[in-house]
C-alpha cells in the first residue's frame, strides 16, 4: 500500500458503505457509450432478480456544467461525497488519455478504495485509476490503442493489452468500450452467480461470456521502417503464403547471408522473420474467414498452415479464440 493510500486510510470518515450501491463517475467530456453501458447493466430495475439487485447513482467528478460527447449536458444529483457510500465505483472512460485527472477525484477514489470499495474502469478510465495510484503493482488493461501509452506513463502498472478485462480483486479494468459490458457481467457473476449474469446478458442480447481477448480486434500494424531492399521480399511472401519460406529462401530474395538478413529484418520490421510470417498468415486467414465461405481446412492450406489443427492452435494462442468463433463474430 503506497503512502497516499495509507494516509487516506488513516484519515477516512466512518460513513457506512452501502453494499448494493453502484456509483458511476460523471465528468466533463463524458464518454456516453461507456456511461450508457453502466446504466444499462446496473441502472435498470430488475425485480425478477430479487432484492439483492444493485442500486445505481451518478456523481459529478468536478463542479460546473458537465457535457457528454456530442454536446449533451449531464447533471448528476450528487458529487464526490457519494463515493464514501458506494460499494462499487465505475469510471466510464476519461475525456482524453493526456487530460489531467483532478486531484479531488484521485483522492476520493483512493479513500473509497481504502474503505473497501471496489473500483472498475472502462476503456480509458484506467488512466484515472493509474493517476490515483490504484494500479501500481497491479495487472490492468485498457483499449489496445492506448495500452502502450498507459505502460509508458505508469511503469509500475502491469499492462495486459490482449485481454477483455482484468479482475485484480478490488480493482477491475476493462479494454475498449464494449468490453466494459463484459466486465460488468463478470462482476454480476462474481456477486450474484452465473444465473443472474446470464439473465442480464440475454436482456442485452449478447453472450454472457465472450471468447478470447481484444487481440482479435487489433488491426495488423504496418511497419514504416521496411527498407527498399525488403519490399520485394515482403510482396513475394504475401503473394504466396501457401509456399515454404525458410530463412535461406528469404535471405536469397535480398541477396544477403542468413545472419545478415535476420539482423536487418529485425531492425526494419521490429520482429524476427518467422514472427512476421506467422502474423501475415494469421491476417490472411482472418480475411478469408470474414469474407469467404471456405472451410477451415481449405483456409489453412491457402495461407500456409498446412492443416486445420495448426491453424486452430495459432488462433487459440495468438487471438484467444477459434477460427469458427472468429468467423461467427466477424463474417459479413
Find the CATH number of the domain harbouring 200: 3.40.50.880
C-alpha cell at 327: 468467423
- The answer to whether position 223 is within a domain reads no
Same domain, 241 and 311: yes
What is the model's pLDDT at position 4? Answer: 45
pTM of the entire predicted model: 0.73
Question: Consecutive 10-residue runs of the chain (332 residues): their mean pLDDT?
Answer: 43 68 97 95 93 95 90 92 97 96 98 97 98 97 95 95 91 94 94 90 86 73 60 93 96 93 86 91 91 94 96 91 88 67
Same domain, 192 and 260: no
- The answer to whether position 19 is within a domain reads yes
- The answer to whether position 221 is within a domain reads no
- The answer to whether position 226 is within a domain reads no
What is the model's pLDDT at position 332? Answer: 60
Same domain, 17 and 72: yes
Same domain, 192 and 247: no
Same domain, 54 and 110: yes
The CATH number that applies at residue 323 is 1.10.10.60
Same domain, 121 and 151: yes
Same domain, 120 and 245: no
What is the model's pLDDT at position 115? Answer: 95
Same domain, 150 and 212: yes
Same domain, 54 and 87: yes
Same domain, 178 and 274: no
Structural domain range at position 293: 231-330
Q: What is the CA radius of gyration of the chain?
A: 24
Amino acid at each position: 500500500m503506497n503512502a497516499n493510500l495509507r494516509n487516506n486510510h488513516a484519515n477516512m470518515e466512518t460513513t457506512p458503505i452501502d453494499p448494493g450501491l453502484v456509483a458511476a463517475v460523471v465528468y466533463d467530456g463524458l464518454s456516453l457509450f461507456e456511461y450508457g453501458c453502466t446504466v444499462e447493466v446496473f441502472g435498470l430495475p430488475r425485480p425478477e432478480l430479487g432484492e439483492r439487485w444493485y442500486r445505481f447513482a451518478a456523481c459529478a467528478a468536478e463542479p460546473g456544467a458537465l457535457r457528454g460527447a456530442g454536446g449533451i449536458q449531464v447533471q448528476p444529483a450528487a458529487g464526490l461525497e457519494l463515493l464514501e457510500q458506494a460499494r462499487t465505483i465505475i469510471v466510464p472512460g476519461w475525456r482524453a488519455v493526456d487530460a489531467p485527472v483532478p486531484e479531488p477525484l484521485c483522492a476520493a477514489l483512493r479513500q473509497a478504495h481504502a474503505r473497501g470499495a471496489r473500483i472498475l474502469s472502462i476503456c480509458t478510465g484506467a488512466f484515472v485509476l493509474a493517476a490515483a495510484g490504484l494500479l501500481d503493482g497491479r495487472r490492468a488493461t485498457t483499449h489496445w490503442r492506448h495500452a502502450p501509452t498507459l505502460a509508458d506513463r505508469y511503469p509500475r502498472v502491469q499492462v495486459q493489452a490482449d485481454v477483455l478485462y482484468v479482475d485484480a480483486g478490488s480493482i477491475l479494468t476493462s479494454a475498449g468500450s464494449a468490453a466494459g459490458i463484459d466486465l460488468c457481467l463478470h462482476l454480476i457473476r462474481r456477486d450474484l452467480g452465473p444465473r443472474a449474469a446470464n439473465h442480464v446478458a440475454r436482456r442485452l442480447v449478447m453472450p454472457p461470456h465472450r471468447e478470447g481477448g481484444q487481440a482479435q480486434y487489433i488491426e495488423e500494424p504496418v511497419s514504416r521502417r521496411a527498407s527498399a531492399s525488403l519490399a520485394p521480399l515482403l510482396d513475394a511472401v504475401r503473394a504466396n503464403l501457401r509456399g515454404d519460406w525458410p530463412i535461406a529462401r528469404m535471405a536469397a530474395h535480398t541477396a544477403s547471408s542468413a545472419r545478415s538478413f535476420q539482423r536487418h529484418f529485425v531492425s526494419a520490421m521490429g520482429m524476427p522473420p518467422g514472427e512476421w510470417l506467422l502474423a501475415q498468415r494469421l491476417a490472411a486467414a482472418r480475411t478469408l474467414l470474414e469474407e469467404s465461405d471456405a472451410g477451415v481446412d481449405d483456409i489453412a492450406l491457402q495461407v500456409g498452415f498446412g492443416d486445420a489443427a495448426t491453424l486452430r492452435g495459432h488462433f487459440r494462442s495468438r487471438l484467444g479464440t477459434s477460427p469458427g468463433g472468429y468467423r461467427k463474430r466477424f463474417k459479413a
